[in-house]
Amino acid sequence: MLSLYEILKAGQTGISPNFWNSAAARALISDRFEPTSESDYIHNGGHIIFYQGTAKRPKIPQFLGNSQVKSIGAEAFSG
Q: For 6-58, how does the pLDDT look when each residue is reduced to its tens digit (9 = 90+)?
A: 666 665 555 566 665 665 556 555 667 888 999 999 999 889 999 999 998 88
Choose among 20, 25, 1: nearest CA to 9.
20
Q: In what order do the strands lie in the sheet with 41-44?
A: 41-44, 47-51, 71-72
Q: Rounded to 10 degrees, what is the CA torsion of 64, 66, 70, 76? A: -30
Quote the pLDDT of residue 41. 95
Quote the pLDDT of residue 1. 56
Statement: residue 71 has pLDDT above 80: yes
Q: Can you tell me the distance from the alpha carbon of 10 to that of 4, in angstroms, rounded to the nearest whole number?
A: 10
Which residue would you say has higher pLDDT here, 75 or 23?
Answer: 75
Cβ atoms within 10 Å, residue 40:
18
